[in-house]
Structures are given as structure tokens and as C-alpha cells.
Amino acid sequence: MSDSLLWLHPDCLSARNPALQKYPEQPALFVFDEEEIEAEAWSLKRIQFLYECLLEIPTEIRRGNVAEEIVRTALEAGARKVVTVESVNPRFAVHKKAIETRIPVEVVPAEPFVDFRGHLDLKRFSRYWKRVEPVVFNS
């Protein structure tokens, strides 16, 4: 019986990802999101690239409906929670919401590019970079 199920997604395909680092003994599952593959009309080479990443990570691989597969696997394993790495992809939020109706989800923060705390104006890159550049080069 596992305490947690690690939910891997296309933004965290490294064995060094922070969820696997935090819970190295817990089982992991990646589900190819068939809806996303069709919505973005992926060609096979994109799937092969992800698959090759997954083959270097200790994880089970499936395809289908992400939330359904994650929930079913977690409940069958008797897990108390699902653990994953944060992502800005809106599909991630949709899956997370669906999973959370059945089982709690812990989201581990991804390693930030820059440790910047405060408001960033994203209207143009130049405005963002004016604030971020000194932190990047001086830290």
C-alpha cells in the first residue's frame, strides 16, 4: 500500500523533478492525454520524444483520460494523496480540479528561473527584463 501516487505530466519529465525528489519511494504514473494530443494534433515524433524521456524515469505509462486514470490508480493503491509538479498549462488545472474531487492533490513547486518576489509587469518583455535582469546577473 502506497501513501501517495506521483502524477507525472509533460512539463516534468525528469527523474530529478521535485515531486520524485521529495517522494522517491512512491509509485509514479504518466498518462498520455489523448484529448491534448488530438487538440494540438501532435505528430508521432512528439509522442516518441516524451516516451523516450519516460523510459528513463521509474514510472508506469498509460494513455487515456488523465484524471480518471490517476484517480483510479491512486484509489486502487490505497493512496491518501496525489503528488505532482506545478504547471502553467491550463489542461493541468482542469485535470487537477477533476482529481481533487476524489482525492487531495499536493502540488510541489517547480524550480524557478529567478527568485523574484514582487510584482512583474508583463505587458512587454522589456518591462519584465528590466526588473529581472539585475537579480539574474547579481545573485
Cβ closest to another protein, residue 65 vs residue 102 = 65
Tell me how many residues contact another protein (CB under 8 A).
49
Task: Choose, by CB under 8 A, the member of 26, 51, 81, 103 that binds another protein.
Answer: 51
Pairing of strands 105-108, 60-64: unpaired
Query: In angstroms, rounded to a whole number, what is the distance separating the alpha carbons of residues 16 and 50?
Result: 16
Does the footprint of another protein cover residue 89 (CB under 8 A)?
yes
Task: Please give the residues from 64 up to 83 whose contact with another protein meets the rule CB under 8 A.
Answer: none
Nearest 5°: the CA angle 105, 114, 121 is 90
Does the footprint of another protein cover residue 98 (CB under 8 A)?
no
Task: Choose, by CB under 8 A, the member of 1, 76, 101, 113 that binds another protein.
Answer: 113
Query: In angstroms, rounded to a whole number, what is the distance separating the alpha carbons of residues 105 and 96?
Result: 7
Nearest 5°: the CA angle 134, 19, 42 is 85
Question: Min. distance of Cβ 23 from another protein in angstroms?
Answer: 17
